[in-house]
Structure 1
């Protein structure tokens, strides 16, 4: 019979070690498990929506002006004006949207604190997880401009 794996010190080279977790033994936390991905989602969502809206609306505006007027300077001025107006619009809209979410979550934290008669012991770490409307507005405006 053929030897399927070379043996070194009575251990075959085709062995696979499978880690087994025992009850009561906690695995070591890695850096990756400590990352809060939900906080990234706010500005990432704003950036994706801003970039998509920026590409579509500015390109459509420039194609419309180019179809009516053959002057390249009119297309550039219209594109630039659309870019600035759209970035401002996206930033303001995103700020209002995220600030509303922030306000709702702050009110909920306040209600929970009052219900538990907790004087703010847990308030600061929870406050750090709240969405940042300025960050979302900036991400949306920059993404629209790119």
Structure 2
């Protein structure tokens, strides 16, 4: 067949999609990671910062290693339980809301009222939040963060070296948590690490300083 001169071959050919913007349906949607990633990083970071700050605060007025370790362990247990209970209640409230919406959609569908297909798909049990799973994950994440300063201080008798070891171990762990969150979420690594590290060290410094000040006043 002769080619129509008004329509060159370049226009007849199907447009080519550049390889760098081709849609890959098998590629993982990183936005789906945001919820569990946020909870895991927040729990680990909270466990690390709160326990390290608590240990350094007590260490500012008490040099006894046993007191420091017991304080850190109590902070680990209390914080993990608090995170678990808080996450359980929060996720259970979300579950109740979603179940109530599913029941309303079922009643509307039974009455012959059209229901949004997206809302109907959301009623799949596999997509509903799991309160117990969220509670256990939060508690484990908190404990993983809190164990870092405990291990750093457990085998060091010298007071100044122990304080420095807790601060250094916490700093390394904070940088790792920031890096991990950035890599898994495809976010800028440098900014994430700096933000987490500066925030954690600031919390520890404030706790140490204020406790030292109060202790020096004999309150």
Per the normalisation by structure 2, the TM-score is 0.48
Total equivalences in the alignment:
119
Is 1:61 matched up with 2:54?
yes
Equivalences for residues 44-83 of structure 1 within 5 A: 44-83=37-76
Secondary structure at 1:68 match in 2: coil
Equivalences for residues 2-81 of structure 1 within 5 A: 18-19=16-17, 30-32=25-27, 38=32, 40-81=33-74
Q: Is the 8 A contact 1:46 1:94 kept in 2?
A: no
Equivalence for 1:128: 126
Q: Is the 8 A contact 1:62 1:79 kept in 2?
A: yes
Q: What value does the CA root-mean-square deviation take over the aligned residues?
A: 2.8
Q: Is the 8 A contact 2:87 2:138 kept in 1?
A: yes
Unaligned runs of 5+ in 2: 1-14, 112-119, 145-219
Q: Is the 8 A contact 1:65 1:78 kept in 2?
A: yes
Cα distance 1:28–1:46, how it changes in 2: closer, same or farther (>3 A)?
Answer: closer
CA distance in 2: counterparts of 1:125 and 1:94, whole angstroms: 22
Is 1:115 matched up with 2:113?
no
Structure ranking higher in helix proportion: 2
**C-alpha displacement at 1:113, in angstroms?**
1.0
- The C-alpha deviation readout for 1:80-132, integer Å capped at 9, x for no partner, is 111011001101100100110011001101101111118xxx67962211111
Q: Is the 8 A contact 1:87 1:145 kept in 2?
A: yes
Equivalence for 2:79: 86
Unaligned runs of 5+ in 1: 1-16, 21-26
Per the normalisation by structure 1, the TM-score is 0.69
Q: Is the 8 A contact 1:66 1:75 kept in 2?
A: yes
Secondary structure at 2:90 match in 1: helix
CA distance in 1: counterparts of 2:35 and 2:136, whole angstroms: 11
- The C-alpha deviation readout for 1:41-97, integer Å capped at 9, x for no partner, is 443232122112112210111011101111011101110111011001101100100
**C-alpha displacement at 1:31, in angstroms?**
2.9
CA distance in 1: counterparts of 2:101 and 2:27, whole angstroms: 29
